Structure 1
Amino acid sequence: MQSITNIIGKNLEDLRKKRGFSLDKVAELTGVSKGMLAQIEKGKSNPTVSTLWKIAMGLQVSFSYFMAESATTIKKVSISDLDPFEDDSSHYRIFSLFPFHPGKKFEIYTIQLDGNSHHISEKHAGEEYILVGEGEISLEIGEKNYRLATGDGLQFTPNQTHMYKNVQNETATLFVVIYYSE
């Protein structure tokens, strides 16, 4: 269990960053010096009740906000529990492990591509990160061709049609992260 000093410091820092505030801005809003705020965030100073009230009032949060321990969030996903999305040929299956959430700006998939088959993906938004979990694929992006084997990765902007080709007889497994900056 963390000490209350560390919990207060972490909560203050997280709130400040979440709101996009500098230490100077928080000092201006709360009347607490930048140096004191930095010491509190680092867990090197245990604020007085009066100081914590100033910070709470200036940032418009409850006094107890700073003392709340955040619960560890764990979400286990099993591919066996998911229904895949398939292309027309049924040789390309996408399992949405972690669907898009606006607050997170990314989504994560597992893709299974049967041996000696291919899938054409239309252009789309975001940045695409491909990691080959098993097998060997060829990824054609525009006029360029990239060969990826187990353990290889590739990042690209998917602003043009691209084709995944499994160049072996066995099913290839890919992990895909699509990041959306906006």
Structure 2
Amino acid sequence: MPETKIITDVNVHLAKNLKYARAQKGWSLDTCAKNTGVSKAMLGQIERGESSPTISKLWQIASGFQLPLSYFLTEQVLFDSISEAVVNKTDNPKSISIKTIFEFDAVIKMETFEITLNPHHEHMSEPHNKNVFEHIIVLQGEMAFYIDDHWKALKAGDSTKFSGNQIHGYRNLHKTPAIFHNIICYL
């Protein structure tokens, strides 16, 4: 079984990955801002390790670079590739945390996350790139997902799939965490 690594300094990790992605594209901060829709100031703060963006902002950045979300959530080859990482975006008890189960595979164009929604947390996501599909498998608890302007309830054992190229979200209105696998396909 591969070694699991907990990323303890998320800001430093994100800064390295964003700098590396920009260098690979040859983009200035201005070009990066135009392509991602994230302000130059925010991108600069991330690169200096002064700010940890929300998952929604990470999706915007990843989409702008045409990279999978896991690019920013796992160590890159440049830094000794690790097969698993846990990123908890906030110390707030009403948070979302993401564990990478399978990093993005360029051959099959998929990645898999285990997402924990703590009690009473809601997470909304902007549309992803065209031809991005999400599959949800609820492992524990109860949750709802937002798609087509409606919330749809799911409980442990339920599964669904949808196109991620529209506003969508997840929420847990219960007193216990909801845990689900999120399999993302980039066709």
Give the Cα separation in 2 of the matches to 1:151 and 1:163: 19
The answer on 1:97 being equivalent to 2:109 is no
RMSD: 2.3
Cα drift, residue 78 of structure 1: 5.5
8 Å contact from structure 1 (residues 77, 97) kept in 2? no
Residue of 150, 156, 162 corresponding to 2:156: 150
Partner of 2:38: none
Residue number in structure 1 paired with 2:140? 134
**Aligned residue identity for 1:161:** I
Aligned equivalent of 1:118, options 111, 117, 122: 122
TM normalised by structure 1 equals 0.53
Tell me what 1:172 maps to: 178
Q: 1:88 to 1:143 in 2, by over 3 A?
A: farther
Q: Alpha carbons of 1:168 and 1:137: their partners in 2 closer, same or farther (altered >3 Å)? A: same
Unpaired stretches in structure 2, ≥5 consecutive residues: 7-83
2:86 is aligned with what amino acid?
D
Q: Is the 8 A contact 1:127 1:155 kept in 2?
A: yes
TM-score computed with the length of structure 2 as normaliser: 0.51
Report 1:53-72 matches (<5 A).
none
* 8 A contact 1:79–1:95 mirrored in 2: no
> Could you tell me how far 1:76 is from its partner in structure 2?
4.9
Contact 1:95/1:109 (CA < 8 Å) preserved in 2? yes
Identity of aligned residues (%): 28
Q: State whether residues 86 and 97 of structure 2, in contact with CA within 8 Å, keep that contact through their aligned partners in structure 1.
A: no
CA distance in structure 1 between the aligned counterparts of 2:88 and 2:120, rounded to whole angstroms: 19
Aligned residues: 107
Query: Post-superposition, which runs of at least 4 consecutive aligned residues in structure 1 deviate over 4 A?
Result: 75-81, 87-90
In 2, Cα distance between the equivalents of 1:144 and 1:97?
A: 28
Verify the 8 A CA contact 1:79 1:97 in the aligned structure 2. Answer: no
Quote the Cα distance in structure 2 between the aligned partners of 1:115 and 1:99.
27
Point out the structure with max Rg over C-alpha.
Answer: 1
Are residues 83 and 102 of structure 1, via their aligned partners in 2, closer, same or farther at CA, if it must alter by over 3 Å?
A: same
Is the partner of 2:182 in helix, strand or coil?
strand
Q: Greater strand share, 1 or 2?
A: 2
